[in-house]
Amino acid sequence: MLQETTLDAAPPRANFGLKDEIRTYWGQRAETFDLSYGHKIRSRGEFDAWSRLIAHHAPIGPGDRVLELASGTGEVTRVLLGFGCSVDAVDLCEPMIERAKRKHRGSAVRFHLGDAENTMMPDARYDLVICRNLVWTLVDPQAALADWLRVLKPGGALVVVDGDWVNRSRRARLLQRLSGWVDRLTAAPRLWDEAAHRRIMRGVFFRDGLKAPALAAMASAAGFVAIRTGPLTGIGRRQFASASWSERLRLLATYDDTFILSARKPMLAANTPGASP
């Protein structure tokens, strides 16, 4: 049973402060972000697994227009380019964009500094809107979903990859503690600011955790149809194969709480005003 949640409008200054902290936190992580488990696509096998998963939920091909949100260092961007798509990549953090630009130097990707909750992109422009590990950070997910619906062409697809990073089973908590112990034993560098992460978590909408059924209900309320959710089939096994022992423990702790959601914008008549060719 889904718990009904009311979106109260936060004071603009409070929202700006949180967005500013989010921007700073990920900006500081940009240079080492690909070293964090689960972010960089480290093997051809994992790359192919992501390609299959995305294609299963949103068949895309050469020439399709894709809007990638929270594009980070450009890892999912690599997968999208493999389909021959035309990609607009949006991120809130300039250091992330700069790193992604270096990674994709010479490609046709268009990078934009912007807010995923208010993309400022044209109406009905994209065949696919996709994001990975973004939704849990949103301040106003209902507004974001409405904006994503707006920029999709009729019949266009939304794909969200995310997870519940708050609620952990006893087994998962034990695995995370073991991972921390291995990190200390091996003197592994700390790649994120835990205090800043906790402050951000307290301010976001999904501070109590993000669950696929709750997000599916919000997508339906925003006007999306054909909503599906499921596991990240094939991804965890490929990530596990190239992970360190500490990373393997963290992957085991989080895999059951990750998910993919796909949905579509309803089809409209071909002569609907605003639809892009």
> Which residue type sits at 68?
E
Please check the confidence at residue 219 and state whether its pLDDT lies above 70: yes
The pLDDT of residue 141 is 98
Residue type, 116: A
Of 26-40, 138-152, 202-216, 247-261, the range with the lowest mean pLDDT is: 247-261
Task: List, for residues 188-217, the tens digit of each pLDDT value.
Answer: 666 667 788 888 989 999 999 999 999 999
Burial class (CB in 10 A: 0-12, 13-18, 19+), 103: middle
- The pTM is what? 0.84
Whole-angstrom distance, CA of residue 101 vs CA of residue 204: 28
Q: Which of 85-94, 163-172, 175-184 has the lowest mean pLDDT?
A: 175-184
Q: Model confidence at 247, in pLDDT bands (50, 70, 90)?
A: confident
Residue 243 makes CB contacts below 8 A (sequence gap 6+) with: 37, 251
Residue 130 has pLDDT above 60, yes or no: yes
Residue 196: the pLDDT is 84
Instruction: For the chain, list the domains and their CATH numbers.
Output: 12-264 (3.40.50.150)
Sort 240 into a burial class: Cβ within 10 Å, 0-12 / 13-18 / 19+: middle
**Cα–Cα dist 56/247, whole Å:** 27
Q: What would the pLDDT profile of 29-49 be if each residue is shown by its tens digit?
A: 999 898 887 889 999 999 999
- Percentage of residues of the chain with pLDDT beyond 90: 63
Tell me phi and psi for residue 104, to 5 degrees. Answer: -110, 25
pLDDT value of residue 3? 36
